[in-house]
């Protein structure tokens, strides 16, 4: 490979990291023939070291889908949440203003046409803590009559002060202040939700500007995802806080229920089961039907969901789409999505449409709620991954992309026909990149006796070869382990390709999108089946393409697998980069925000009272990469988040110190960031360091076909 200068790496990173990603879109009718599209994009700003958001509006005709007008993007980074009324004449905005480096304020604004008619300083109101904007608990919803707004905020904590606070002679006693509670430990919901402990719903009366908490709700429940019912009551997802809060981000297995809050009666009822995980309640337009996702509570952190339907008048509940244990061929594998979009119902209330992981892709699926018939919406464009953003007035708004095509917004009408996507802006494909999906069978050694017919896949992304030269390969197993790589745009794979690297993204057995049997097959088999699936994928590809330089790149469970692979196959890989890897399960079991992961993935039953026995610790150690530390020969670069609660930084420190003590080549970068290492400056620095690590350990020749 030719010498690659640091400046060229930086230039390519800067160019491609500017590509905007659509994160939200919503449709608003302006007349019977014209529809407005609002699109919110997220983009990395390297100079400001932050992700900025912009809003862009389009107006198009409904009959021929011709764009009549499109404005330039307007930055809205300070907006945390934004919701329009159904007809688009009013907008409520939750805004965060940074006053200085340490102080910030939230404001709740209501806009009517071009006028801001309400602006509430939420901190000055002093009735709750911060308003939640995250995907787990956050929500900002107009009531059906547009007179009220419901949102979720941290329950106000009792005031406290030091036992030894000096008071003036004229100061009066403050009965609502309890001395000595300054240092009492308060649980929160873990990684990425630090400081978020007890969310409860609040209601803003638009006419009076008053805010009040919803009353007579259980105090041991954290509420989120509020929506209004047809009767102007509130439906929330409620997570039980006892016996303790476990990390909830990326974990769809936490016990919760659907709480129907009857405002005028000051009481509540639970809709459906109280021992499952539920998510994303969505009413039909006429309010007669409610659909929501339901999963098993406990077990693997992410698994398939049932789509449940409730006849609202009678509260009769039925399964609309069930779990799929083993899909036939490339057939429907079950529902694998974390949340549903806000609007998924057709105008006649007969269909719901949303996107779900389907093997190594994300597909739009349409379900007839009467016949329960499910179909995949087929695109005339071919093999694109599609993510639904909005479905309104029978118009679909979605992002579409491939590994070589950055995401664009497409629109389409009538979900019962083949889709011919019409992009809202020019598509800018990354030149000289090709990709394909490999279908793979596990090795005979690791065929699961209970699930012998499972397959898995890997996505191979590579520069287009014109001279016959083949490029170095980066093997990239995903984290989780119950997640998946998709055949959608991947910024870092595109940058790797621009720099001459191929990547192999492995969806080993246990990945989502392949049925429940695949997920269950990995439990108790981490460190073996997932490791051999990755190695088999590499060797299968290497039988077709000659690679002399093969490297590893992975984070979290992908870092676990990378560390396993260099230990179990010590002469195979030229270099390895691990981001916040799991190294020793025995030392992680009591300090992670998800202690159940350690038990479940090792094939053990988790209880909140669980303490590992000697035999269980031995089993956990046997499944850990640290077991193979003496066999490691591959140079290792570690990227560690010092604020990581999911895989504490002590895991990375342990690996670094153990390798260094054995005179192995190792380097570690530590960052003031959490598990995802997703701060813009951290992400950029860790990625450029990874590229340099790979370049420095390449064989000094070009690889030939």
Give the active site residue among 301, 675, 686, 697.
Answer: 675
Annotated active-site residue in 483, 488, 518, 556 = 556
Q: For residue 356, indicate whether it is catalytic.
A: no
The answer for 559, left when phi > 0, alpha when psi is -120 to 50, beta otherwise, is alpha
- The answer to whether residues 242 and 221 touch, using CB atoms and an 8 Å cutoff, is no
Give burial (CB, 10 Å; 0-12/13-18/19+) of 113: exposed
The residue to which tokens 């000659």 are assigned: 546
Q: Which two tokens mark 5?
A: 């200068």
Residues in the chain: 705
Q: What are phi and psi of 351, to 5 degrees?
A: -130, 150
Q: Are 666 and 576 in contact (CB under 8 A)?
A: no
User: Cα separations (Å) of 485 from 22, 459, 476, 528?
Assistant: 18, 8, 10, 20
Q: How far apart are CA 400 and CA 405, in angstroms?
A: 8
**Backbone angles phi and psi of 585, in degrees to 5:** -65, -30
Sheet with 361-368: strands ordered across:
351-358, 361-368, 374-376
Q: Which two tokens stand for residue 181?
A: 């509670």
Residue 531, helix vs strand vs coil: helix
- Given the residues 596, 644, 656, 673, select the one marked as catalytic: 644
Question: What φ, ψ does residue 12 adopt, rounded to 5°?
Answer: -65, -40
DSSP track, 455-522: -EEEEEEEEPPSSSEE--EEEEE-SSSS----SS--HHHHHHHHTT-EEEEEE-TT-TTS-HHHHHHH
Catalytic residue check, 556: yes
CB of 354 closer than 8 Å to CB of 397: no
Q: Would you tell me the crossing angle of helices 6-17 and 680-696 to the nearest 10 degrees?
A: 140
- 377 in Cβ contact with 364 (< 8 Å): yes
For 668, residues 6+ apart whose C-beta sits below 8 A from its C-beta are: 637, 638, 639, 640, 652, 653, 656
Beta strands 395-402 and 405-413 are antiparallel
SS3 of 396-446: the string is: EEEEEEECCEEEEEEEEECCCCCECCEECCCCCCCCCEEEEEEEECCCHHH
Tokens representing 155?
Answer: 């329950």
- Residue 104: Cβ within 10 Å count: 13
Calpha distance 125→120 (Å, rounded): 8
Cα(625)–Cα(569) distance, rounded to whole angstroms?
12
240 close to 221: Cβ distance less than 8 angstroms: yes
Q: Taking the CA of residue 705 as centre, how many other CA atoms within 13 Å lie in the half-sphere pointing to its CB?
A: 5
Spacing of C-alpha 215 from chain mean position: 32
Answer left, alpha or beta for residue 225, where phi above 0 means left and psi between -120 and 50 means alpha. Answer: left
What six digits make up the tokens of 583? 């190294």
Structure tokens at 88: 């688009």
| Chain centre distance of CA 225 | 16
Q: Supply the residues annotated as catalytic.
A: 556, 644, 675
């Amino acid at each position: 490979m030719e010498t690659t200068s640091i400046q060229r790496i930086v230039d390519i990173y800067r160019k491609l990291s500017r590509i905007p990603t659509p994160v939200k879109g919503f449709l608003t009718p302006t007349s019977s023939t014209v529809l407005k599209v609002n699109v919110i994009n997220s983009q990395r700003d390297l100079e400001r070291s932050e992700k900025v958001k912009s809003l862009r509006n389009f107006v198009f005709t409904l009959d021929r889908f011709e764009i009549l007008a499109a404005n330039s993007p307007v930055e809205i980074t300070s907006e945390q949440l934004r919701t329009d009324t159904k007809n688009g004449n009013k907008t409520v905005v939750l805004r965060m203003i940074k006053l200085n480096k340490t102080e910030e304020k939230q404001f709740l604004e209501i806009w009517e046409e071009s006028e801001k008619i309400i602006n509430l300083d939420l901190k000055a109101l002093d009735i709750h803590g911060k308003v939640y904007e995250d995907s787990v608990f956050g929500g900002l919803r107009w009531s059906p009559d547009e007179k009220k707004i419901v949102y979720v905020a941290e329950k106000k904590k009792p005031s406290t002060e030091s036992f030894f606070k000096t008071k003036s002679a004229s100061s009066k006693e403050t009965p609502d202040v309890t001395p000595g509670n300054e240092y009492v430990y308060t649980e929160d919901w873990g990684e990425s939700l630090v400081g978020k402990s007890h969310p409860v719903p609040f209601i803003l009366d638009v006419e009076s500007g008053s805010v009040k908490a919803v009353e007579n709700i259980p105090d041991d429940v954290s509420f989120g995802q509020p929506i209004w019912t047809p009767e102007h009551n509130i439906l929330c997802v409620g997570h039980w806080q006892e016996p303790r809060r476990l990390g909830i981000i990326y974990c769809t297995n936490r016990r919760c229920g659907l709480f129907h809050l009857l405002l005028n009666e000051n009481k509540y009822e639970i809709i459906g089961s109280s021992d499952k995980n539920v998510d994303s309640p969505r009413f039909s337009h006429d309010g007669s039907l409610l659909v929501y996702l339901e999963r098993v509570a406990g077990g693997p952190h992410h698994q398939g969901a049932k789509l449940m339907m409730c006849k609202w008048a009678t509260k009769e509940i039925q399964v609309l789409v069930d779990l799929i244990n083993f899909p036939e061929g490339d057939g429907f594998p079950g529902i694998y999505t974390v949340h549903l979009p806000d609007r998924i119902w057709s105008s006649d209330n007969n269909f719901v449409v949303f996107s779900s992981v389907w093997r190594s892709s994300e597909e739009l699926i349409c379900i007839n709620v009467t016949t329960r018939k499910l179909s995949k919406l087929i695109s005339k464009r071919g093999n694109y991954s599609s993510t639904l953003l909005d479905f309104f007035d029978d118009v679909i708004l979605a992002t579409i992309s491939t590994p070589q095509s950055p995401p664009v917004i497409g629109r389409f009408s009538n979900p019962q026909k083949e889709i011919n996507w019409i992009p809202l802006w020019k598509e800018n494909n990354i030149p000289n990149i090709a990709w394909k999906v490999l279908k793979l069978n596990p090795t005979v050694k690791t065929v699961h006796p209970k699930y012998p017919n499972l397959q898995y896949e890997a996505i191979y992304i590579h520069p287009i070869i014109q001279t016959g030269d083949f490029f170095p390969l980066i093997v990239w197993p995903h984290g989780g382990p119950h997640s998946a790589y998709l055949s959608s745009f991947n910024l870092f794979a595109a940058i790797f390709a621009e720099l001459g690297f191929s990547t192999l993204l492995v969806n080993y057995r246990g990945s989502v999108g392949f049925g429940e049997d695949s997920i269950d097959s990995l439990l108790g088999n981490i460190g073996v089946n997932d490791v051999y699936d990755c190695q088999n994928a590499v060797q299968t590809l290497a039988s077709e393409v000659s690679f002399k330089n093969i490297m590893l790149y992975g984070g979290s469970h992908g870092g676990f697998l990378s560390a396993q692979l260099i230990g179990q196959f010590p002469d195979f890989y030229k270099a390895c980069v691990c981001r916040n890897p799991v190294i020793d399960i025995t030392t992680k079991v009591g300090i992670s925000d998800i202690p159940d992961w350690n038990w479940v993935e090792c094939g053990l039953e988790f209880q909140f009272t669980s303490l590992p026995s000697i035999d269980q610790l031995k089993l956990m150690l046997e499944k850990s990469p640290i077991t193979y530390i003496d066999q490691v020969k591959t140079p290792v670069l570690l990227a560690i988040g010092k604020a990581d609660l999911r895989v504490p930084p002590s895991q990375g420190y342990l690996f670094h110190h153990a390798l260094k003590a054995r005179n192995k080549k190792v380097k570690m970068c530590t960052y003031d960031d959490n598990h995802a290492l997703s701060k813009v400056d951290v992400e950029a620095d860790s990625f450029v360091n990874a590229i340099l690590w790979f370049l420095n350990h390449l064989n000094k020749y070009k690889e030939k076909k």
